[in-house]
Structure 1
Amino acid sequence: METLLWTVVRFPNGNWSYGGRMDDPDYERCEKWSIEAESAQAAVKKAQSRRRRDQAHVRAVASVSLEFDLSVRISSNALTLRADDTYNLVQQHVAEILILDDRDRDRKIGELLFDVVDVAAMMDVGIDPVEALNDTDVDAYMAGKAIYEPDSFTLRSYVLDQVEPLDPAHDRFLHLRELFIEPAWRGRKFGLAALHIVLQRYSRGCDFAVLCASPIRAEVVSEADRRRQQAALRDLYARAGFKRLGNSLYMVQDLYRYSSQAFPFSAESPVPEQEAVETATL
């Protein structure tokens, strides 16, 4: 039986359906998946399984010393950038950062936004990565310009220098878009622990991760403050294994090496002052 690509949705009331397009207005408030399967029923079962997996609480590894249990819950939105819906070139994900409160209930204290960019699929359809990312949004476009040579699938030399031995014809990469921790919960390693969980558990098949070490939300009011906080972010992510790309704001992490790492900050390791450090474009 032929395998087809199905749109599967879950409505806020818990009902499941399938068919149509991901951008159907009727699905505006739904959770959505794009699933390859031989039948609609099989596609719904796959989506239900994926939802259970994505919503399972992934506890921080034992080497993370935190005052609360921390977990992340992932939701996703596949952005299809081709008219016939054959390829999902960019998948956007939202990781809710949760802690257990004193009543054993989940409490959201922040979120981490990230994209999985399928470069191999872009090559199949002949769309260069920067062009495809430009169709996503300006943050993804700027990240693409920072890591790719113009009008090509070739990574810039300073990327290859930091993640060698990486085949220039890589398959996927992770774009870490934004990390936000509520002000009352900053300075306690929660943002770094959530980043660690995402890199450990949700980056399979990706060759490297890229982020922009610059704060974006309204707390930064002057250029001097912005530059100070950019420097603090660079230091923070460097200690977590990210490497700066030339003199730019962008940093990369070799995910092949990262997969075997423990949490980069031990219980005794000091964390820089983080008034706005964990409020950042990644």
Structure 2
Amino acid sequence: MSARSSRRTTLSVMMIVRDEGDRIEASLQSVVGWASEIIVLDSGSTDGTIDIVSRYTDKLWVTDWPGYGPQRNRALNHCSGDWVLSIDADEVVTPELRDEIDRVLDESGCDFTVLKMPWKTFLFGRPLKHGRYTSPQAKLFRREGARYRDHQVHESLMMPRRKERVLNAPLEHYSWRNYQHVQEKHLKYGCLLAAQKFANGRRGSLAYAALRFGIDFLQQYLVRGGFLDGSRGFLMAVILGQYAFHKYAALWALEAENTMSSRKP
């Protein structure tokens, strides 16, 4: 259990979850007793997640699933702290990160509205040190006026005034349970993004999908230094290339399906 913080400001931790019973406890243990409150919205877990969460907080709501952006906004509406830390069930706040957050939030004249923290993302037991999954994440922000875009996936944080600071201590990120999970997760997100693009009038082609596979692979593996992570870096570059392919192939498929439907008598 986390040591209780002497921080002068109040801090809400919020989480949106579903069927995370195998890993949510480590995340909750990393913030209980340190956060001023823990807000959890569950969208229909059937694996014991709700029972686990109930041991750590009474601020738990079971809801439907409107998409990532709307669900985060629902959780945000329940938060009362001066600051909000939005984490997922696969993320763990280390003691070093807690201490750094406490120090920064108590600095006199602190006028930052967003605190970003590096991701320490683990792939098959070892952390990736290069590439997309090490980029600092805007997880901690002043609550007043903050909202998320109502996107189904990859929802971005909107602030009335945005001034960022990047922390040094990383947030541990255990995103994938196994190889099947990493593939399923990227395919799911790719299809959600395709639907979002299609609804906004975007169209795709298989040629562009194939081109994006190559571009995104090279971006991750060479430009962002993924090759320095050895076999894991190569695998991650392939996965991100596949992710880009999924997005635009799914977009092409939606257009094809729509054309077929319109031709039916």
**TM-score, length basis structure 2:** 0.26
Task: State the structure with bigger RCO (CA 8 A, min sep 6), 1 or 2.
Answer: 2
Question: 1 or 2, which has the higher helix percentage?
Answer: 2
**TM-score, length basis structure 1:** 0.25
Question: 1 or 2, which has the higher strand percentage?
Answer: 1
